[in-house]
Amino acid sequence: MKLERARGTRDFAAEDALLRQQVVGTLCSVFELYGYNPLETPVIEKFETLASKYAGGEEILKETFKLKDQGGREIGLRYDLTVPMCRFIATNPNLKMPFKRYQIGSVFRDGPLKIGRYREFMQCDIDVVGVRPMAADAEIVEMAQEAFERLQLSVVIKVNNRKLLNGIIDAAGIKADKAETVILTLDKLEKLGKQAVEKELAEKGASAAAIRKLVLMITVQGSNSEKMQKLEKEVNSNEGKEGVEELRQMLECLDNQTNVEFDPSLARGLAYYTGTVFEAFLNEPKKPQLKEIKSAVAAGGRYDKMIGNFVGGGREYPAVGISFGLDIIEDALLLSGREKKRTTTSVYVVPIKAVAEAQKIAAKLRQEGISTDIDMSNRDVKRNLEYAAAAGMPYVVFVGEKEVKEGKLKVRNMKSGEEKVVSLSEAAEELKNFK
Amino acid sequence: MKLERARGTRDFAAEDALLRQQVVGTLCSVFELYGYNPLETPVIEKFETLASKYAGGEEILKETFKLKDQGGREIGLRYDLTVPMCRFIATNPNLKMPFKRYQIGSVFRDGPLKIGRYREFMQCDIDVVGVRPMAADAEIVEMAQEAFERLQLSVVIKVNNRKLLNGIIDAAGIKADKAETVILTLDKLEKLGKQAVEKELAEKGASAAAIRKLVLMITVQGSNSEKMQKLEKEVNSNEGKEGVEELRQMLECLDNQTNVEFDPSLARGLAYYTGTVFEAFLNEPKKPQLKEIKSAVAAGGRYDKMIGNFVGGGREYPAVGISFGLDIIEDALLLSGREKKRTTTSVYVVPIKAVAEAQKIAAKLRQEGISTDIDMSNRDVKRNLEYAAAAGMPYVVFVGEKEVKEGKLKVRNMKSGEEKVVSLSEAAEELKNFK
């Protein structure tokens, strides 16, 4: 038998787990600053919940891990955090609105494996449910901007509005029943380029004139307000006009530090968006090593119908949310030169015959709040130094009989190699300041 | 279709998720203080890993959620965090020893449901792998003591040693091949009482004399050292003597603040323990409401053979670890009167016609690090106050035209009902101090 991980899964050893903790911690502190609270739902859901016609759709259902419990009940592993949130809202009818929650957890998809695609991966979702005005959309965009600032990644947040996009498609002379499939094609513009998109639109039955007009509109140039003004003149349908108005209201709510760019070609693949859509992209011209990251680092939008459809009973649940790509954010941080912290341990105590004394010193360092490891295997100095270096611990403290007699200990800075003999309180001071 | 959770699963809404975050945060900070680092392994493992004959055993395998991926490979949901750790060690042969890790994550068991038993629940494991001396056992026990101190729960940690227990069974005249099944019966002493245990031992073929002698030994009275001295005289086998010696060494390593009680009847159900075993119980005589919690709040022991057997290849991996019962710890905290924090949000901003101004004030409060929610739905004051009260937010800030003109805002303490009109910086000061 070969011991190995299941296909498409990963381990996160200390340095990877610590980076993830750091990113998640930063994100959560921003979410909480904006008044969002945590929700945890189970990994296992009833299969019929996951398969609801208002849930993730057929494509995703094909990739859903499905099993039966001992009672023969069909269950599945969640493929996202949105469907469980809808189920939570349905099973908690007295929940106060607005409901502002964040959730970070593993989701599962039994799909084909590619580089950067896993069968078990972490999602990080923030949603506000129950707010119709565009202030909510603006809040989510602003929060995303602040989260990336704190992560020290510069981003541009591209925004669009589905109603406006429908209006553009209508103005191009394409019938409303084709809007959804056209949007799926437009979503590929960034990835495939203009020509491929034009070809696909033609294959879907759009006339050459319609395609020309459509592409002209979605690639309109200028400042955000110039683009809006130009498109406002083109769009005739009520839905399109409403979209422009929503977009304007949202942009008005944003403070002027938010690096937001109206991009009428932004589509977002998912069918359930009803208004605002947005995607955050890295904007780091001075860091060419980040150029290879072309995908969005966070994305989301407004979906006013989905939860109500899902829950049923006629009640409406307007909602807007965003999802952060933890894997890609971590990649970006590492490419930016962020060093992985290899351990949380500040110091490794090495007893040189003075085992009992060394244990007391370790206990005292811990009382001072200093993360302390200690050799418990009575190894020699050389092996202990190798161990501390391999683990990435910044300091080693030697406790020998000579030092003990003098009430001192020897502190070695593992980076510089410098050693000094100091009192316990002096050592504690240095180690604390390092932290 | 009825929207509901899958059987045996739970949601953790804000107040429950926050309590869990708090407990987990406290535990992790103690683990890191002692030089343990995080490890994350996937929920999904190959079924053959989970079914290894050195893994959790047949009983647990019956309760393992099993499924196939699209490629027809058999996989399962982890039922504990120990087997994945063994698999991690096996797949990382260059891992430096000692390996000190903690892991907190959901595990899954498709078993019968009772009160307090779930199909998806969180485990919290800490293990040190690669240290043979008893200093490691002592470190784990001390760390547990410190963790409960920080949680403000008083505990007694009962310890025993499997080698000593085998020696006692031998000294009672019971054959070595019966030791394992006898230990399983002894494990029920606390739960079923002496008579039931004696009856079960008789059913397993132990003579009346052997049972009498065995029960006498495992219920020996006195201080830790008195009990050890008494038993040392009874025990003849080399294994038994070794057990006494190990126990003595471990107790010598413990600082005298550790509330540890040698209990020779302590057995622990699992077969894989090879030396030290321990269980932490609540010790709160002044809190009678905690009496109903009889189970251990943390438990573990030394298992020197399991990982080596699992990994194969002849290399030895001595190990000792402990698992904290998160659910029972949370129950104990709530029974102790710990109030659930209902939200992380400090203040709710209510615009009274001055929407843009209110948004600026919310932004400024957030810049001060104050978790701030704001009404985005233009609701009336009454509904906003109801919302803030229901969410448990301690302060509401009203931003009206009159106050804006004066450069002030109105702060309402939601607990006292007191309101005052102050400047933004005065308000920020009060809200920060509250946190």
Q: Which residue has the higher pLDDT, B404 or B144?
A: B144
> Which tens digit of pLDDT belongs to each residue from A347-406?
999 999 988 899 999 999 999 999 999 999 999 999 999 999 999 999 999 999 988 899
C-alpha of A62 from chain center: 24
> Which tens digit of pLDDT belongs to each residue from A21-59?
999 999 999 999 999 999 999 999 999 999 998 887 788
Report how far residue B29's alpha carbon sits from residue B147's, in angstroms, rounded to the nearest whole number.
9
Domain A347-434, CATH: 3.40.50.800
Report how far residue A371's alpha carbon sits from residue A393's, in angstroms, rounded to the nearest whole number.
10
Closest chain B residue to A75 measured between Cα atoms?
A: B6
Domains of chain A by residue range: 14-335, 347-434
Of A86-95, B5-14, B253-262, minimum mean pLDDT range? B253-262
Q: What average pLDDT does the segment B389-399 reach? A: 96
Res B47: pLDDT: 97
| Residue among B172, B171, B230 nearest B198 (CA) | B172
Res B53: pLDDT: 85
Report how far residue B279's alpha carbon sits from residue A144's, in angstroms, rounded to the nearest whole number.
45
Residue with tokens 């409403």: A242
Res A191: pLDDT: 83
Q: Does A109 touch chain B (CB under 8 A)?
A: no
Of A309-313, B225-229, B239-243, B386-390, minimum mean pLDDT range? A309-313
Q: What average pLDDT does the segment B189-212 reach? A: 91
Report how far residue A154's alpha carbon sits from residue A327's, in angstroms, rounded to the nearest whole number.
17
- Residue A434: is its pLDDT beyond 80? no
Q: Is the bond leading into A394 cis (omega within 30 degrees of zero)?
A: no
Report in angstroms the alpha-carbon separations of B398 from B166, B365, B412.
Answer: 71, 13, 8
- Residue B435: is its pLDDT beyond 60? no
Res A263: pLDDT: 96
Report in angstroms the alpha-carbon separations of A330 from A151, A278, A345.
Answer: 10, 21, 22
E runs forming strands in B26-83? 37-38, 44-46, 66-68, 74-77
Report how far residue B241's alpha carbon sits from residue A302's, in angstroms, rounded to the nearest whole number.
70
- Residue B70: is its pLDDT beyond 70? yes
Report how far residue B268's alpha carbon sits from residue B279's, in angstroms, rounded to the nearest whole number.
8
User: Residue B195 is inside which H or E element, if any?
Assistant: helix B194-203
Closest chain B residue to A12 measured between Cα atoms?
A: B40
Asked if residue A51 lies in contact with residue A60, where contact means CB atoms within 8 angstroms, the answer is no
Of A231-235, B79-83, B110-114, minimum mean pLDDT range? B110-114
For A295, half-sphere exposure in the C-beta direction (CA atoms, 13 angstrom radius) is: 13
For A15, half-sphere exposure in the C-beta direction (CA atoms, 13 angstrom radius) is: 10
B423 beta partners:
B408
Q: What average pLDDT does the segment A271-275 reach? A: 90
* Residue contacts between A and B (CB atoms, under 8 Å): 242
Closest chain A residue to B101 measured between Cα atoms?
A: A14
Q: What percent of chain B stands above pLDDT 90?
A: 84
Q: How large is the ipTM?
A: 0.93
0.80 cut: is pTM over it?
A: yes
Res A435: pLDDT: 56
Sheet arrangement for strand B44-46: B44-46, B74-77, B66-68
- Residue A331: is its pLDDT beyond 90? yes
Output b/e per residue, B322-353; b: 16+ Cβ within 10 A. Answer: bbbbbbbbbbbbebbebeeebbbbbbbbbbbe
- Residue B85: is its pLDDT beyond 80? yes
Q: Is the bond leading into A98 cis (omega within 30 degrees of zero)?
A: yes
Q: What percent of chain A stands above pLDDT 70?
A: 100
Asked if residue B310 lies in contact with residue B90, where contact means CB atoms within 8 angstroms, the answer is yes
User: CB-CB: which of B4, B38, B253 is closest to A359?
Assistant: B253
Residues near B346 by Cβ (< 8 Å), separated by ≥ 6? B370, B371, B372, B393, B394, B395, B431, B434, B435
Indicate the pLDDT class of residue A148, thresholds 50, 70 and 90: very high
E runs forming strands in A148-205? 155-161
Query: Which tokens hold the place of B42?
Result: 């996937």
Report how far residue B219's alpha carbon sits from residue B265's, in angstroms, rounded to the nearest whole number.
7
Asked if residue B297 lies in contact with residue B330, where contact means CB atoms within 8 angstroms, the answer is no
Q: What average pLDDT does the segment B366-393 reach? A: 96
Q: Does B35 touch chain A (CB under 8 A)?
A: yes
- Three-class DSSP category at B326: helix
- Residue B197: is its pLDDT beyond 60? yes
User: Residue B409 is inside which H or E element, if any?
Assistant: strand B408-413
| Residue among B167, B298, B285, B279 nearest B233 (CA) | B167
- Three-class DSSP category at A230: helix
Taking CB atoms and an 8 Å cutoff, what residues of chain A touch B26?
Answer: none
Selected residue of B1, B3, B10, B75 to mutate for chain A interface (largest A Cβ count, 10 A): B3
Res B196: pLDDT: 94
Contact B69 A66 (CB under 8 A): no
Q: What average pLDDT does the segment B338-356 reach? A: 94
- Residue B193: is its pLDDT beyond 70? yes
For A256, half-sphere exposure in the C-beta direction (CA atoms, 13 angstrom radius) is: 0
- Three-class DSSP category at A370: coil
Of A53-67, A295-309, A318-332, B67-81, minimum mean pLDDT range? A53-67
CATH value of A14-335 in 3.30.930.10, 3.40.109.10, 3.40.1400.10, 3.30.420.40: 3.30.930.10
Report how far residue B43's alpha carbon sits from residue B49's, in angstroms, rounded to the nearest whole number.
13
String of DSSP letters for A241-266: HHHHHHHHHHHHHS-TTS-EEE-TT-
Contact A11 B39 (CB under 8 A): yes
- Intrachain domains B14-335 and B347-434 with the same fold: no
C-alpha of A127 from chain center: 13
Q: What is the CA radius of gyration of chain A?
A: 27
E runs forming strands in B8-116? 37-38, 44-46, 66-68, 74-77, 99-108
Residue with tokens 């020996």: B220
Taking CB atoms and an 8 Å cutoff, what residues of chain A touch B88?
Answer: 11, 13
Taking CB atoms and an 8 Å cutoff, what residues of chain A touch B378?
Answer: 133
Restricting to B residues 285-304, those with a Cβ less than 8 Å away from any Cβ of A are none
- Three-class DSSP category at B49: helix
Looking at the complex, report in whole angstroms how far the Cα of residue A239 sits from the nearest Cα belonging to chain B: 22
Report how far residue A357's alpha carbon sits from residue A370's, in angstroms, rounded to the nearest whole number.
17
C-alpha of B284 from chain center: 18
DSSP state of A304: S
Restricting to B residues 347-406, those with a Cβ less than 8 Å away from any Cβ of A are 348, 355, 359, 363, 366, 369-374, 376-378, 387, 390-391
Q: What average pLDDT does the segment B177-206 reach? A: 90
Closest chain B residue to A78 measured between Cα atoms?
A: B6
Residue with tokens 């119980």: B281
Res B139: pLDDT: 96
- Residue B224: is its pLDDT beyond 70? yes
Looking at the complex, report in whole angstroms how far the Cα of residue B267 sits from the nearest Cα belonging to chain A: 26
End-to-end CA distance of chain A: 44
